[in-house]
Structure 1
């Protein structure tokens, strides 16, 4: 069968992406450490000379590596998204066949039959629509436990669809100082977490950045 192979490949890709994210986080932490040049900061002083307080060749190498990792991360994410679509379609097909079989064996009066049945949710079929690629220290996102690399499947009432950025902002604003439930994929596992949008010393109500997938 195709689905099990695709599922195994997807889980492997998620592990690879997790490794990339860990390396990216480490590089970002080094570049943004106190006194560091940052991810895109200038490498020259006010007079236009190379800064003497940093190892410029090393900084350039780290930035180049970070760029490579981001490209690899994007490629792997695209592959994962395609596999998730395949798995999601396969799941819908199985559900339709299962529903058809139940319909064929149902007596005309429907006596004693439940109108709905609980369905086991396969974590790999969850379709994330955004990735958290930046979290500010001390922000609501950081304090409430969100992590870099978390993939957002559901944010309050927001799921995949159109006008995502606008809907996310609206959801956060309308729930200021109220807990918002999230469903995220973290290192291949589906998790339920929560965040309370609120004012803090930084910008916005969350203190994190969503990269749309």
Structure 2
């Protein structure tokens, strides 16, 4: 049984990450407003003098704060991933132990979740690790039903964890011309889809971009 404090800590970390993302979005919106300095824009004019149309100390403070928030977000995400690995490991161990040795049935690599532990199911199977932030018209992703903003919980065998970008690319390449099952969250609701990575007139095998969360 997974220690309750691991689950509780993961829930707190997820809330913390959401709060950090909201704060970062607010700062980015303020810096990117019309006439603003932008996230990395120059603070001097064409003649090399400090720009008079912006509050330079405020912009510097916002940029510094944004950098701190990004570091905090990375740290929190790493902690969430470590906790999820613990939850995955405990789930798999429980599944293996639940199958009698004399039954002749091997425990699956990704066995079913406990019917009595909905919190663990939410943490392990419903935490999105990426979001579709770009999708090309006429691409396999678009034709197979993916939409901008879809959050990816599972892509084939890829779930939350380390080396996500590398694992996603590998999964797509090894699944060319074959259906890949996806578990996504769309507007707050879980959905199952399938996509077939394949060559088309555009770049890549799917024509979409995954932004790692």
C-alpha distance 174-11 of structure 1, shift in aligned 2 (>3 A)? same
Q: Contact 2:91–2:113 at 8 Å: present in 1 too?
A: no
RMSD, matched Cα: 4.3
Number of corresponding residues? 184
Which residue number in structure 2 is paired with residue 144 of structure 1?
A: 147
- Between the aligned partners of 2:31 and 2:171, the Cα distance in structure 1 is 29
Flag structure 1 segments of 5+ consecutive residues without an equivalent: 111-117
1:47 is displaced (CA, Å) by: 1.5
C-alpha distance 139-25 of structure 1, shift in aligned 2 (>3 A)? farther
TM-score calculated relative to the size of structure 1:
0.64
Flag structure 2 segments of 5+ consecutive residues without an equivalent: 106-110, 115-120
Alignment of 1:155-170 (within 5 A): 155=155, 157=156, 159-160=158-159, 163-164=166-167, 166-167=169-170
Match of 1:153, SS? strand
Which residue number in structure 1 is paired with residue 25 of structure 2?
A: 25
TM-score calculated relative to the size of structure 2:
0.64
Q: Contact 2:27–2:66 at 8 Å: present in 1 too?
A: yes
Alignment of 1:1-213 (within 5 A): 2-100=2-100, 119-120=112-113, 122-126=121-125, 130-132=129-131, 135=133, 144-146=147-149, 150=151, 152-155=152-155, 157=156, 159-160=158-159, 163-164=166-167, 166-167=169-170, 182-184=182-184, 191-192=190-191, 205-206=207-208, 210-211=211-212
